[in-house]
Amino acid sequence: MNLRLGTRGSALATAQAGQFADAVVAAGAQQGVEVSVELVTVTTKGDVDKGSLVGLSQTGVFVTALREALLADECDFVVHSLKDMPTAPFDGLETVAIPEREDPRDVLCTEGETLEELPHGARVGTGSPRRAAQLLALRPDLEVVPIRGNVDTRLGKVGEELDGVVLAAAGLNRLGRGAEATESLSVDRMVPAPGQGALAVEIRSDAAPALRDLLGSLDHADTRAAVTAERSALATLEAGCAAPVAAYGTVARGRLTLHTRVIGADGRLALNERNIGVPSEAASLGRSSGYSLLGRGAERLMRST
């Protein structure tokens, strides 16, 4: 079986695609099938547009070109960072696998200081309104600076233009650079983005059964349940990446726990919702969380961004 995997061309995207390709080859070997995977690089709008993504309709900015390449039969499957994916279904495609999640936490990268140790008025960079709002909730004195760019670009600003940057632990780990994080921020202090740390593997709806079975064998049920709840809450709130909405689900002993948070842009006000259910009702749990937050004024907080 000779397969083509569509991916963005960034170092992080190709690293995570390459790691998943290795997992596909290994899964094939376990099933007695010889598999090869070729990476097909696709340029997306998010790779070309160097301005701020906040306020663009950022939803789908990193995934649309990959999906179009898949529908055009330029590749057999694609791998996305799940947090970049729109919550609405996409005609002709389906998510066949969500592999086991990487570390979902955010991390602070500085020249050695923890968040508490940074000096008054320190400049901390992030391109995420969710991270910015939660940073200000923890340290109202910080100057949060909007930044874009790959991991190298962002880390290169530390000690030059900035006192620190906040990145996803999963990205650093996939690049083999996890040791460059100064401090891991707990999921209670800095609730992750819905789907953070998880990948999504898409195929065409008419994909061959052999391909569907091979990729589907790499699905991780607990991760799928957790991120389904997170993304269901996000969809109910009708919030995109420009809104400071966070959600994190976990599965333990047959129970799914979901923590959803909506934060005002300045970090001074936040609404939290915690729900517990069963993994098979993940989407319903997420919707309940979202509706509860809307009933408590979440829309007003999101409009304050």
Cα(49)–Cα(300) distance, rounded to whole angstroms? 30
User: Residue 134 pLDDT more than 50?
Assistant: yes
Average pLDDT over residues 161-170: 96
CB-based contacts of 234, cutoff 8 Å, min separation 6: 87, 194, 245, 247, 286, 290
In 3D space, the residue among 106, 116, 160 whose CA is nearest the CA of residue 142 turns out to be: 116
| pLDDT tens digit sequence for 6-47 | 999 999 999 999 999 999 999 999 999 999 999 999 986 544
Rounded CA separation 54/142 (Å)? 20
Decide: pTM greater than 0.75: yes
What does the H/E/C string look like for 219-274? CCHHHHHHHHHHHHHHHHHCCCCCCCEEEEEEEECCEEEEEEEEECCCCCCEEEEE
Residue type, 271: L
46's tokens:
């998010």
49, 73, 84, 219: the catalytic one is 84
- Give the rounded percent of residues in the chain with a pLDDT score beyond 70: 92
| Residue 282, pLDDT score | 98
More confident call, 243 vs 260: 260
Report how far residue 195's alpha carbon sits from residue 200's, in angstroms, rounded to the nearest whole number: 9
266 is catalytic: no
Secondary element (H or E) of residue 28: helix 11-30
Cα 269 from chain centroid (whole Å): 24
What average pLDDT does this structure show over 176-203?
A: 97
Confidence of residue 149 (pLDDT cuts 50, 70, 90): confident
